[in-house]
Structure 1
Amino acid sequence: MTDTTLQLEDAAIGLDADAPTAWSAATWFAVISLAATSFALVSAEFLPAGLLTPMARDLGISEGTAGQVVTATASVGAVTAMLSNVLIGRLNRKTVLVGLMALAVASNILAALAPNFWLLLLGRAGLGIALSAFWALSVAVVARLVGANATGRGMAIVTLGVSLATIAAPSMGALISDWLGWRSAMAMTAGLALVAMLLQFLSLPTLPASASNSLADVFRLTRRRGIQLGMLAIVLLMTGHFAGSVYVRPFLEHVTLLATGPIALALLGFGIAAVVGNIVGGRLADANIRMALVVTAVLMAFAALALVLWGVHVGAAFALVTLWGLAFGMGPVVLPTNLSRAAPDALEAAGSLMVVSFQVAITIGAVVGGYVVDNYGATAPLTLTAVLAASTALLALLQPRS
């Protein structure tokens, strides 16, 4: 980046763009509190995957209807992402983050105590607000805590909570539900949110608002070529991922002919590799964001296409699912960092666009992936993943060097 850009960024968000690589204990504590926040929020988001059957039975609804608690979280989150940075105005960002976790605590408690489906939906909607507003602010807050040149590293630690929650939440939710009931599992996520809120309160420095965003400011940001390319990269890569990853298990069942036990091991390898991908993605993003995006996309494209070509072989299938997990772990670090580089003077507004892009990608991926697998078979979604990921790599090459 040029000196002018760095000066603009310093003035806009009040950080030292040339901050030293070594972080103080206070900085580590603050960043870890945000990782705990992401773990708590994403655990609550994915928890219903392991609770649908007992939840539906207890509330007297179908499992399909119970599954709409996930839809409620995502749909409310998409709207919140556009409005959150407008509504919070010039409130201190520490106050906002602590308040969001208080909302998450209350929402999870409401979901745990809900006597009917509609109050359960209301609780999940509150979680959607907390989740999306947190992610919309995350890049800007991390940049202020660690400096612009270490944003990738900081986001890698924050998104580590996502990978851990994705692995742990469904299985732990199912186990706790079997032991103590689904309501106890929901209450557990309220406890996680409370711990994260306390960590934020104790560790985050005061974060006065550097700017007050309007909705017009957010939309005006979309005129920048870098923002357009960054949003398109998110939509392409994450649509490809969610269109294909949902159908990795059916692929392993019907093409690789694996039993349930080996499939569980393969998916565990995916999750562990995603954790490693968080760390690798953070390092690459800070070193060269353009190359980091190319590497992430190429790895995902190769893993998906190679599964289609050689996935009948057990060893190859295990290795390629793990490689896919590595690429997926890099994505949530590299993609937001890439987008933020196009708007150093408007990181919060860029954060809103980042969350919207992810939500759109998840929605399109789920719809298109389902259509493709129903009409063209188990390998078709993976082929689509490879095509969209390869397109992302080409798109990354169009971006200016950083």
Structure 2
Amino acid sequence: MTDTTSELDDAAIDFDTAEPAAWSAMTWFAVLSMAATSFALVSAEFLPAGLLTPMARDLGITEGTAGQVVTATASVGAVTALLSNVLIGRLNRKAVLVGLSALAIGSNILAALATDFWLLLLGRAGLGIALSGFWALSVAVVARLVGANATGRGMAIVTLGVSLATIAAPSMGALISDWLGWRIAMAMTAGLAALAMLLQALSLPTLPASTSNSLADVFRLTGRRGVQLGMLAILLLMTGHFAGSVYVRPFLEQVTLLETESIALALLGFGIASVIGNVAGGRMADASIRLALGVTAALMAVAALALVLWGAHIGVAFAFVSLWGFAFGMAPVVLPTNLSRGAPDALEAAGSLMVVSFQVAISIGAVFGGYVVDHYGAVGPLTLTTVLAASTGALALLQPRS
């Protein structure tokens, strides 16, 4: 098996055409090490949602400015996602993955020790490189570990780390920051990355590169209408999501008037609902990607609008934060599937554009969300979420029926 684009694209299309062979213990160990890495990296990515208020207070900055730690991660990640396969050239993929985990360790430690906002940004930028580099390689590596016919099964296990991080990071971050301080919470993500690096070093086989990569195929896809609509859907919905979700804690504190423990429970509900939404999104996307995109956008718009209108009521806040989590859980399944329909013959190149689109959307969302929260208060970002999610719903009407 190799990790060339054509072979992996074929694997993505035809992975279930034959019965996969039983995995050896070492194969399981290697795949689980990838899942542990996704958990460690995504935990660090989502952690600021639960640390924003104490982080801003400690560094003497506004909550809107503190939210730009998300921008730093995503902005660097967007460039990394586009260039990673070119920059790593023929380096052994195991060495690259272990190196990316080492970078995550250093970046999280720097963020935890940061004495000013710029050092914090530098640490988060390093995390952005580690995140995007890992996801850019993940499908190719999993395909080589388990074989083309089991790539989907392998990726399902790897992305389990994302679901678990979505549940654990914001809620546990809020609790740990309240008990021990936000710096300890940030340092714990360095420990998770160290564990993931150890598992990778012990379990991954040597993975020599089989080919170099070019940007030509990636840029060529941007001329296709289906790809353009898919990228626009990601930009609208994820910009809306991250414009509001980063500032959910200030909203729950200032509007719903919740204490830290109650905020942690609300964020836990968000995470659990996102796992359920992930399953629902997969089933709906298989049935009708157009419908799935419309439902995902509509649910997020309704959840954000309800919080704006009635979020002062505790029961309403808990219910619609969970609904928002459900919609967010659908999005990582529905949005990439929607984009891939525009390039069924070039799924990996489309995947690169998908990662870039997500990271750009996170950056834009954090920037605009920070501006809005500083000028219009905690309700402002959620209003922006409502508008952009509703716009995505309208865009879904332009998608081809499937």
Q: TM-score per shorter chain, which class?
A: 0.7 to 0.9
Per-residue deviation at 1:147?
Answer: 4.9
Distance, in Å, in 2 between the alignment partners of 1:112 and 1:259 is 24
The one-letter code of the counterpart of 1:225 is R
Query: 5+ residue gaps in structure 1?
Result: 1-7
After superposition, the Cα gap between the structure-2 partners of 1:384 and 1:90, relative to the gap in structure 1 and judged at 3 Å, is same
Contact 2:292 2:334 in 1 (8 A): yes
Instruction: Identify if the C-alpha distance between structure 1 residues 364 and 74 changes in structure 2 by more than 3 Å, giving closer, same or farther.
Output: closer
Q: TM-score when scaled to structure 2?
A: 0.77
User: How many Å separate the matches in 2 of 1:140 and 1:228?
Assistant: 24
Q: Retained in 1: the 8 A contact 2:20–2:150?
A: no
Report the counterpart of residue 160 of structure 1 in structure 2: 163
**1:389 shift after superposition:** 1.6
Q: Residue 236 of structure 1: CA displacement?
A: 0.6
My pick for the range that moved more, 369-378 or 263-272, is 369-378
Deviations 1:174-226 (A, max 9, x none): 26745xx93x6555333322322343345556666575332333222211222
Change (3 A) 1:347 1:367: same
Q: Does 1:134 align with 2:127?
A: no
Counterpart AA for 2:170 = I
Cα separation, partners in 2 of 1:316 and 1:173, compared to 1, 3 Å: closer
The aligned residue for residue 389 of structure 2 is: 389
> In structure 1, what is the Cα distance between the partners aligned to 2:109 and 2:380?
41
Q: Which moves more between the two structures, 212-221 or 368-377?
A: 368-377
Alpha carbon RMSD of aligned pairs, Å?
4.0
Query: Which residue of structure 1 lines up, in the alignment, with residue 303 of structure 2?
Result: 303
In structure 1, what is the equivalent of residue 367 of structure 2? 367
Closer, same or farther in 2 for the Cα pair 1:167/1:333, shift >3 Å?
Answer: farther
Q: In 1, distance between residues paired with 2:342 and 2:223? A: 11
Write the letter of the residue equivalent to 1:78.
A
Q: 1:211 to 1:161 in 2, by over 3 A?
A: farther
The 1:199/1:269 distance shift into structure 2, 3 A limit, reads same
Aligned twin of 1:276: 276
1:17 matched residue in structure 2: 15
User: Residue 89 of structure 1 aligns to which amino acid in structure 2?
Assistant: G
The verdict on how the C-alpha distance between 1:88 and 1:226 changes in structure 2, with shifts beyond 3 A counting, is farther
Can you list the C-alpha shifts for 1:51-78, whole angstroms capped at 9, x where unaligned?
A: 9968997xxx645688766554333223
Distance 1:204 1:98 in 2: 9
Would you say the 8 A contact 1:86–1:214 is kept in 2? yes
Question: Which digits, 9 at most, give the CA deviation of each residue in 1:102-147, with x for residues without a partner?
Answer: 3323444566678998776655433221112112334555567565
How far apart are residue 288 of structure 1 and its match? 4.5
1:83 is matched by which residue type in structure 2? L
- Which letter maps to 2:105? V
Which amino acid in 2 is paired with 1:100?
L
Instruction: Please say if 1:221 is aligned against 2:236.
Output: no
Going from structure 1 to structure 2, the CA distance change for 1:332 and 1:188 (only over 3 Å counts) comes to same
Question: Which deviates more, 116-125 or 86-95?
Answer: 116-125
Partner-residue secondary structure (3-state), 1:398: coil
Q: Which piece of structure 1 moves more, 333-342 or 14-23?
A: 14-23
2:224 & 2:251 partners in 1: Cα distance? 40
Letter in 1 for 2:84: S
Q: Match of 1:40?
A: 40
Question: CA shift at 1:362, angstroms?
Answer: 1.9
- Where does the alignment leave 5 or more consecutive residues of structure 2 unmatched? none
Q: Residue 177 of structure 2 corresponds to which residue in structure 1?
A: 174
Query: Structure 1 stretch 185-194 or stretch 146-155: which is displaced more?
Result: 146-155
Alpha carbons of structure 1 residues 165 and 98: separation in structure 2 relative to 1, 3 Å: farther
Residues 202 and 337 of structure 1, relative CA distance in 2, 3 Å threshold: farther
Q: Cα distance 1:156–1:334, how it changes in 2: closer, same or farther (>3 A)?
A: farther
Query: 1:366 and 1:51 mapped to 2: Cα distance?
Result: 12
Whether the 8 Å contact between 1:294 and 1:392 is mirrored in structure 2 is: yes
> Which stretch of structure 1 is more off in the superposition, 75-84 or 95-104?
95-104
Deviation of 1:358 after TM superposition, in Å, equals: 1.8
User: Shift of residue 333 of structure 1?
Assistant: 3.0
Q: CA deviation at 1:368?
A: 2.7
Instruction: Compare 117-126 and 381-390 and name the one that shifted more.
Output: 117-126
Q: What letter corresponds to residue 266 of structure 2 in structure 1?
A: A
Partner of 2:340: 340
Which residue number corresponds to residue 357 of structure 1?
A: 357
Q: Does the CA-based 8 Å contact 2:47-2:170 persist in structure 1?
A: no
Is 1:40–1:196's contact at 8 Å kept on the other side of the alignment?
yes
What code does the residue aligned with 1:18 have?
Answer: D
Say which SS state the counterpart of residue 331 (structure 1) adopts: helix
For 1:112 and 1:258, locate their aligned partners in 2 and report how far apart those are by CA, in whole Å.
26
Does the aligned pair in 2 maintain the 1:157–1:279 contact within 8 Å? no
What CA distance in whole angstroms lies between the structure 2 residues aligned with 1:124 and 1:263?
24
**Cα distance, 1:127–1:87 mapped onto 2, change above 3 Å:** same
Amino acid paired to 1:17: F
Q: Is the 8 A contact 1:53 1:63 kept in 2?
A: no
Say whether the 8 Å CA contact 1:159–1:332 is kept in structure 2.
no
CA distance in 1, matches of 2:80, 2:228: 20
Percent identity, aligned pairs only, is 71
2: distance between equivalents of 1:71 and 1:390? 23
Tell whether the 8 Å contact from 1:139 to 1:347 is kept in structure 2 after alignment.
no
Task: Name the SS of the counterpart of 1:132 in structure 2.
Answer: helix
Distance (whole Å) between structure 2 residues aligned to residue 395 and residue 345 of structure 1: 24
Describe the shift of the 1:324–1:191 C-alpha distance in structure 2 as closer, same or farther (beyond 3 A).
Answer: same
